Chains A and B, each alone.
Chain A
Amino acid sequence: MTDLETFRAETRAWLEANCPAECRGPAENDEDRVWGGRNAVFKTPAHKRWMEVMGERGWTAPEWPREYGGGGLSREEAKVLASEMRRIDAQSPLSSFGIWMLGPALLQFGTEEQKKRFLPEIVRGEIRWCQGYSEPGAGSDLAGLQTRAEDRGDHWIVNGQKVWTSYADKADWIFCLVRTDPDAPKHLGISFVLFDMATPGVTTRPITLISGKSPFCETFFDNVRVEKENLVGTLNRGWDVAKALLAHERTMIGAMGDMGRPMGQVAVDSLGLDDSGRLDEPMLRTKIAELEIDVAAFRLSMERVGDQVKARQVSPAIASMLKYYGSELNKRRHELAMAAGGSDALEWESERSKGGTPAREWLRTKANSIEGGTSEVQLNIIAKHLLQLPGV
């Protein structure tokens, strides 16, 4: 056996022994997922155990270095782990902005102390992070942000407001963009800082969305003290960190285009088959098959981009491509899920719909092509950085 085959056999055996039955099969909705943190909520005790055993091995962040608590796996080993988890339909042990967004940025820009301090607790799911980027006046034009940090020697005092802060009300810490030089051109006066959401002066207010749920908050900073040791990267060059992190965020949002049960099965459960064994709704069948082709091709594209990045064959702006396509794909997927569900999927409050899950998830996906930079912003980035079209 090759090393990789040995790794696959060992991984398969370990997962069989350690992935609880309750943690196999698709997570039903956002709330069923494990987000970790000081006030973590688990659907069952098995979900807590699953997070902990995976966290101990570093397999919640398989490719991070072992010295920071990660799995230390090579890219090929990480692919094997992912495929073995898919094989038994294992749920993600930990959903985490720390893993998807902050961690990669810290690995690139953080000091040794910052990496040692923050990364292991992210891997183990002990600290839940949120992202302080958008502001009421800074949406697509993110670099126009106004939250300001005043220099007080060994610390800053931060004042301002963020909006669309995902799960700010549930998060323990925030990674936040603040203006440290109000006189510099807008991209050159921003810094990237970290602070505890329990710091005096931080308040959050959930925003009710069209789904009836509140995954986002308004976040207010009123004379919040931030230690200087929690600056990531260079002072006033936070935009570089922000952009690198956005690329990770975009890849993450794009990856939503590849989640959930195969749509063909969802539709068969709802609508049944005709005498020739085809979905009893021919127009919908065609659309679903087209979607599944795009989902499969997109999954391969994510893999290919990962391999290209590793081989340094591609610009980081490629994340915009994944973000754009994956988020549009996820919206399409949920439109079809609604069509497949018919009137059943319209139930907002009922036992069968588990409190309107299909409809609420469908509405939630409409934010996918807005959050992390709109589809139009992604297309602008592709046109400028990947196609070098003039005048953007």
Chain B
Amino acid sequence: MPLILTEEQTMLKEAADGFLAEHAPITHLRQLRDSRDAEGVSRELWRAFGEMGFAGVIIPEEHGGSGLGAVEAGVVAEALGRTLTPSPFFGSSVLAARILIDAASAEQQAAWLPKIAAGEAILSLAVDEGPKHQPSRIATTAERSGNGFKLNGAKGFVLDGHIADALIVAAKTETGTTLFLVDPKTAGIEIERTVMVDAHNAARITLKDVQVDADAVIGAVDGGEGALNAALDLGRACAAACLTGAGDEAFRVTVEYLRTRKQFGRAIGEFQALQHRAAHLFTELEIAKAATLAALQRLDAGADKADLAVSVAKAKAGRVAELAVQEAVQMHGGVGMTDEYDVGLFMKRVRVLNELLGDAGFHADRLARAGGY
């Protein structure tokens, strides 16, 4: 398969970029932030995401979605990276939707997939616990109790967890990991909204003797790891797409600045010191885009070692986007440090996306282990 978007995918990209530029440009993020919005995301925009078919991009048509794949989800994620738009897309349309599609019962699917596709429900995946992403070391437990399970533990960096209509909690059971679909209003659950550095939102969630019924289990008891990993890998590939979108946009703005900003009587883009750094960054960005698209395509193809392609993409896109935003601020000089200019917002968003679902170090380690070193 060629490593470029198909005609249909290009049309989706144009639709997503066009829609976000019109309805949720960076001023939208600023408005939510500066008004200290009670939810931190716009429900209205989320419903519009449903109408446009973005919210249900990977959800099968029988559940009201578009029935598309990872590449298309990545196209939407990249568009969100360009405009830095806060959206339940990651938590609901990517992570939760993937788990529900792959592992949930018919009842669970019927209850939530159409609502996600319509942009009506917000779901959150609670997997991280410590400051770093370590899904192989989940400490939250679920013990058999009565007709179901009792959950204990603490989760963090739960995207949109403060406004979730349902939580998917990953917990340790006797011999493995089990996924639970939990009502956030259940007794014993405490949720603290954590406004993050990029003005997007997550939550800390503590679970103290939280009693859930047996039908809260998604898939098999002790058998949640496969569905969890599939969702994490799709999330990582989409995070890579979001990072390339953010990095690319920060770069575009910076090149424009190099062309127009004058010092010493000429455009600063005439200086070779800056030209070479810009050219280097361009190169890195193109390479990150190739790695990202390849990872998304391999997920869709169910290819051998698609997980490793995902790690290459997440690590590479993360490092490159980091370089892009650092260069963006430095090349803008003093104004790059101001809240008024957007480049600082890109720096913040990239920092969060880098940490999300494993940073470059996490993925480098995963690749090294797979490579036998």
* Contacts from A to B (Cβ < 8 Å): 75-76, 262, 264-265, 267-268, 273, 277-279, 285-286, 288-290, 292-294, 296-298, 300-301, 303-305, 307-308, 310-311, 313, 318, 321, 324-325, 376, 378-380, 382-383, 386-392
B371: A residues at CB distance < 8 A:
262, 264-265, 289, 292
Q: Tell me whether A325 and B373 are in contact (CB under 8 A).
A: no
- Which residue in chain B gives the minimum CB-CB distance to A302? B290
- Is B270 at the interface (CB under 8 A from chain A)? yes
- Is B302 at the interface (CB under 8 A from chain A)? no
B169: A residues at CB distance < 8 A:
none
Q: A304-B3, A307-B2 are in contact. Are A387 and B282 (CB under 8 A)?
A: yes
Q: Tell me whether B373 and A390 are in contact (CB under 8 A).
A: no
Beyond A279-B373, A386-B282, A391-B267, 19 additional pairs, beta carbon < 8 A: A278-B368, A288-B368, A288-B373, A289-B368, A289-B371, A296-B291, A296-B312, A297-B291, A303-B294, A304-B290, A304-B293, A307-B2, A324-B279, A324-B280, A380-B275, A380-B276, A383-B278, A387-B282, A389-B259
A376: B residues at CB distance < 8 A:
276
Q: Tell me whether A383 and B4 are in contact (CB under 8 A).
A: no
Q: Mark B350-373, 1 if CB is under 8 A from A, else 0.
A: 000000000011011101110111
Q: Tell me whether A390 and B279 are in contact (CB under 8 A).
A: no
How far is it, in angstroms, between the C-alpha of A273 and the C-alpha of B275 when the chains are bound?
Answer: 43
Report the minimal beta-carbon distance from A102 to chain B, rounded to whole angstroms. 27
Q: Tell me whether A389 and B270 are in contact (CB under 8 A).
A: yes
Interface of B is mostly: helix
Task: State which of A279, A290, A307, A390 has its C-beta within 8 Å of the C-beta of B4.
Answer: A307
| B293-323, CB < 8 A from A | 293-294, 309, 311-313, 315-316
Q: A300-B290, A389-B259 are in contact. Are A289 and B365 (CB under 8 A)?
A: yes
Q: Tell me whether A301 and B373 are in contact (CB under 8 A).
A: no
Q: Tell me whether B266 and A391 are in contact (CB under 8 A).
A: yes
Q: Tell me whether B373 and A285 are in contact (CB under 8 A).
A: yes
Q: Tell me whether A387 and B279 are in contact (CB under 8 A).
A: yes
Q: A278-B373, A389-B269 are in contact. Are A383 and B275 (CB under 8 A)?
A: yes
Q: A297-B291, A300-B290, A308-B4 are in contact. Are A268 and B279 (CB under 8 A)?
A: no
Report the minimal beta-carbon distance from B362 to chain A, rounded to whole angstroms. 11
B368: A residues at CB distance < 8 A:
264, 278-279, 285, 288-289, 292
* Contacts from B to A (Cβ < 8 Å): 2-4, 255, 258-259, 266-267, 269-270, 272, 275-276, 278-280, 282-284, 286-291, 293-294, 309, 311-313, 315-316, 360-361, 363-365, 367-369, 371-373
How far is it, in angstroms, between the C-alpha of A282 and the C-alpha of B228 when the chains are bound?
Answer: 30
A305: B residues at CB distance < 8 A:
286, 290
Q: Tell me whether A300 and B294 are in contact (CB under 8 A).
A: yes
A324: B residues at CB distance < 8 A:
279-280, 283
Report the minimal beta-carbon distance from B231 to chain A, rounded to whole angstroms. 23
Across chains A and B, which 3 residue pairs bring their CB atoms closest together, nearest first?
A391-B270, A382-B279, A289-B364
11 A-B Cβ contacts within 8 A? A278-B368, A296-B312, A297-B288, A297-B312, A298-B287, A300-B291, A379-B279, A380-B276, A382-B282, A389-B270, A392-B275
How far is it, in angstroms, between the C-alpha of A308 and the C-alpha of B289 when the chains are bound?
Answer: 13
How far is it, in angstroms, between the C-alpha of A200 and the C-alpha of B198 when the chains are bound?
Answer: 72
B280: A residues at CB distance < 8 A:
324, 379
How far is it, in angstroms, between the C-alpha of A386 and the C-alpha of B293 when the chains are bound?
Answer: 21
Q: Tell me whether B312 and A390 are in contact (CB under 8 A).
A: no
